[in-house]
A and B are shown apart, each in its own frame.
Chain A
């Protein structure tokens, strides 16, 4: 063990009662006995089931929706359309000031992705709800669709948003921007210019438990909502806004989540199930099928990241320009925030004096993207570390050394104007090298995260 690691280990041992020790899980007995109650394990007498009528096409105009055959299905209770939703247009990040509202709870006259909900059907059983959904006749006019971020930004692309662009607008700009130093001057001084483009695919979180909730009217006029959301109060607040009811009218019960990974922070099933409970006076369960979870629920966005680095012979990166495009799919969900986190981190955990970053939140006709582990930092790290290896290879330097040389130190200014205060990158790399059995040369072992501060 390294000096630092063993010092930390002994401090942990002496000082902490929980850190560094195994603690029995409070929910563990419930999990191993099957007594933990997940949302789908909850049911109430008289409970109804909700299923969505979904768009079979990627982009189109809704000319007519005919429910007459669906209404004849035994067990059919009622249908909900956009006219039933008090505030049908929403964007979940309105709670942190992101706007404008742009996603309908239920489609009004247009669909922007395959699987977009058009109407909700409530029935006595899940089977009856599914049967009724299958008998709804949709009259849609298909429009050209776009599935690639750069195609979506071309002048002839179909425009998806009422404000006339296929990108989110950040304080009047078409992208989230970071400017630090003078990147062109950096490129002019550099010994090497190293360019690459990195692509990542959308990723479905695929939790073993699908997204679900049960909304139950209470005798006192409130609604109890049992949900597997990862964001209980966030979801409750958005539900109250969509349904235009005071927050005090809703009681959200949650915390038991059968896998989420960011896939259960969107506000998807609760508003419509609660509305159905209001309109019918009965408990309503809305549980995604596995197919809905895989094909309709949001994903990690697909990314395209263009890197251009200016590097000196001694290994110092002196300029980095990154143009990134995230495929938000048809709607915002969490992507505008994902982009901001990406912009703050795509220069990597390295000190680079000249940085220029543009990150675009682009709308396409894919299913909406949203949060997933790392909020846009994960694809940034993938690209950054591939780029670091490419730099090392190009200039003929050890990939460990290139990272040690460029690692940010305490006191460094990051491109988004935050001073580094808690760097441990060098220490972590030393510990990793030790664990991997990779001996590091003396001049790297002498480096540490405080060496520029002390200089």
Chain B
């Protein structure tokens, strides 16, 4: 099948890519646009390391054909990282040691961003539900939960 052009808004700017049918958003981000903050842990929807926001909702980019985001808004970790310093969620992850190998961190941060955008003051259970699809194999879940709660406090005082 022939390639086609897909246009969507990525991190605040319109982008245009030419892709074969069923090319995933993950492949477009990592291979075509070289935005590698979005990770690639399983490419089968099992680990959450490729999570990005589509219209503000967390989505597994490895399962999503890029044609499905045509005309929509996509935000990756690059999109929330300031030119200088850190986003409050990133700062909370850094300060609370919610990072070990770092491979799950981009997905975790995007999931928590989506959660805090719609629910600025989540309970611990709500944070746990939000990250339920994200695997951390260094088993740092406790510090990730602490970081999420810390991030919620920081965002409310900003």
> Which A residues contact B (CB, under 8 angstroms)?
22, 24-25, 27-38, 40-41, 43, 205-210, 257-261, 289-290
Beta-carbon contact of B101 and A258 below 8 Å: yes
Tell me how far the C-beta of A359 lies from the nearest C-beta in chain B, rounded to whole angstroms: 29
With a cutoff of 8 Å between Cβ atoms, the chain B residues found around residue A210 in the complex are: 41
Distance between Cα atoms of A35 and B37 in the complex (Å): 6
With a cutoff of 8 Å between Cβ atoms, the chain B residues found around residue A43 in the complex are: 31, 34
Residue of A nearest to B20 (CB): A127
Beta-carbon contact of B101 and A32 below 8 Å: no
Distance between Cα atoms of A258 and B43 in the complex (Å): 15
Q: Which of A27, A34, A257 is in CB contact (< 8 Å) with B81?
A: A34
With a cutoff of 8 Å between Cβ atoms, the chain B residues found around residue A261 in the complex are: 137
Across the A-B interface, the 8 shortest Cβ-Cβ residue pairs:
A34-B37, A31-B102, A258-B103, A41-B36, A290-B42, A32-B90, A34-B77, A31-B99
Tell me how far the C-beta of B46 lies from the nearest C-beta in chain A, rounded to whole angstroms: 7
Tell me how far the C-beta of A257 lies from the nearest C-beta in chain B, rounded to whole angstroms: 6
Tell me how far the C-beta of B99 lies from the nearest C-beta in chain A, rounded to whole angstroms: 4
In this complex, how many residues of chain B approach chain A with their Cβ under 8 Å: the count is 37
Beta-carbon contact of A36 and B102 below 8 Å: yes
What are 19 inter-chain pairs, A to B, with CB distance below 8 A? A22-B97, A24-B94, A25-B94, A28-B99, A30-B102, A32-B102, A33-B77, A34-B36, A34-B39, A34-B81, A207-B101, A208-B39, A208-B49, A208-B101, A208-B136, A209-B41, A259-B103, A290-B41, A290-B42
Distance between Cα atoms of A32 and B143 in the complex (Å): 14
- In this complex, which of A31, A37, A207 has the most chain B Cβ atoms within 10 angstroms of its Cβ? A31
B8 at the interface (CB under 8 A from A): no
Chain B residues touching A, majority SS: loop
B61 at the interface (CB under 8 A from A): no
Beta-carbon contact of B106 and A259 below 8 Å: no
> Given the known A-B contacts A207-B101, A258-B101, are A29 and B94 also in contact in the complex, defined by CB atoms under 8 Å?
yes
> Which B residues contact A (CB, under 8 angstroms)?
30-31, 34, 36-44, 46-47, 49, 76-78, 81, 86, 90-91, 93-94, 97, 99, 101-106, 109, 135-138
Residue of A nearest to B105 (CB): A31
Tell me how far the C-beta of A120 lies from the nearest C-beta in chain B, rounded to whole angstroms: 21
Beta-carbon contact of B37 and A290 below 8 Å: no
Residue of B nearest to A291 (CB): B44
With a cutoff of 8 Å between Cβ atoms, the chain B residues found around residue A289 in the complex are: 43
With a cutoff of 8 Å between Cβ atoms, the chain B residues found around residue A41 in the complex are: 30, 36
Distance between Cα atoms of A197 and B25 in the complex (Å): 51
Residue of A nearest to B81 (CB): A33
Tell me how far the C-beta of B20 lies from the nearest C-beta in chain A, rounded to whole angstroms: 9
- In this complex, which of B37, B49, B86, B102 has the most chain A Cβ atoms within 10 angstroms of its Cβ? B102
With a cutoff of 8 Å between Cβ atoms, the chain A residues found around residue B109 in the complex are: 32
